[in-house]
Copies of this chain bind each other. A is one copy, B any other.
Amino acid sequence: MYSFLCDYSEGAHPRILESLVKTNLNQTDGYGIDSYCENACSLLKKEIGIDTVDIHFFVGGTQTNTTAISAFLRPHEAVISPKTGHIQVHETGAIEATGHKILTFPTIDGKLTPLEISQALFEHEDEHMAKPKLVYISNATEIGSIYTMSELESLHDICIKNHLFLFMDGARLGSALTAKGNDLTLNKIATLVDAFYIGGTKNGALLGEALVICNDALKADFRYHMKQKGALLAKGRLIGIQFEELFRDKLYFQLAKHSNNMATKIADGFAHYGYTFLTDSLTNQVFPILPNKIIEALESHFSFYRWLKIDDNNWAIRLVTSWATSEREVNELLDLLDKLHNTL
């Protein structure tokens, strides 16, 4: 049964495996101090267009978020996050486990605005309350939306004005940067946030996230924090080799674009029959609202999550595409939908 459950159902893009095989017996130093990691950093800096950023590799998103945020904050400082933020919902209290409160705000589309940040600052006025210090956003968000340049600029402005750090979770950054309507670039992001990461795991790597620290004040001693959190891999080359391959020639963006295209094709297919969507996702997650009967019929051929119960007769489901989703499976899904419509 084909799965649209997530964007990490398969292994890695074949070029990555080839590169691992090819370099396998070359000896390197450990813990990310090797030529592959160095070259990957160079490629990333070139892509970002800023030579002075610091880049560190991690095995996954929770580890990246936790290590970075706990390194950036002092004990009394808190994070501002959308209520749907991954650190708030799906990381088992990892940020709190490092001692920091998360202040959450409901949003319509998973995106923070200066309004919620102002509110957080207004409500937290003295030493009897945690002190807001870091704004956490995801791009793409957990529900598939993306930040525009002007939105990110307005967040940047209010953060600068209030001495807040701005941190972008980029687990699905590839998908965001290749989405319809996107006007951000890695370069622009690097000028607007204090740190962000470029997600590899959900875009063709076996595992790997590249944290980019833009703010000089946050760079010192960062590898100490990584080691303490178990984030320095003995064979650090494993991630370096992968990012080398992903950024040698735009493969990263091609994979993300493909993934978005497949999602758009699915969305268009559902829209064709008049279905509406929980959110207007422009990236690789699609949330159609369907009658239970349709869902049940789809479930016997495809795996996906029921996301939110709309009413007794309808649910929103989540379909996720990836670099590995082929047009064939998308066609089969849409063919099934078509067949269901002709018969139900």
A residues lining the B interface (CB < 8 Å): 2-3, 5-6, 8-12, 14, 17, 20-21, 23-31, 58-64, 66-67, 70-71, 74-76, 78, 89-94, 96-102, 127-131, 201-202, 206-207, 221, 223-235, 237-238, 324
- Determine the distance from Cα of A8 to Cα of B230 in the docked complex, in whole angstroms: 16
Determine if B223 and A127 form an interchain contact, defined as CB atoms under 8 angstroms apart.
Answer: yes
Which of chain B's residues has its CB closest to A326's CB? Answer: B25
Which of chain B's residues has its CB closest to A241's CB? Answer: B11
Q: What would 15 A/B residue contacts be, using CB atoms closer than 8 Å?
A: A5-B30, A11-B23, A17-B20, A25-B324, A59-B230, A60-B230, A63-B229, A75-B97, A76-B228, A91-B228, A93-B100, A96-B100, A96-B130, A97-B99, A207-B238
At the interface, is chain A mostly helix, strand, loop or mixed? Answer: loop
- Given A14-B24, A127-B227, A201-B235; A101-B93 close (CB under 8 Å): yes
Residues of B near A11 (CB, < 8 A) are 20, 23-26, 235, 237-238
Residues of B near A228 (CB, < 8 A) are 62, 75-76, 91-94, 97, 130
Residues of B near A24 (CB, < 8 A) are 10-12, 14, 17
The one of B2, B5, B30 in contact with A9, judged by C-beta atoms closer than 8 angstroms, is B30
The one of B28, B78, B230 in contact with A230, judged by C-beta atoms closer than 8 angstroms, is B230
- Given A5-B29, A20-B17, A235-B201; A93-B71 close (CB under 8 Å): no
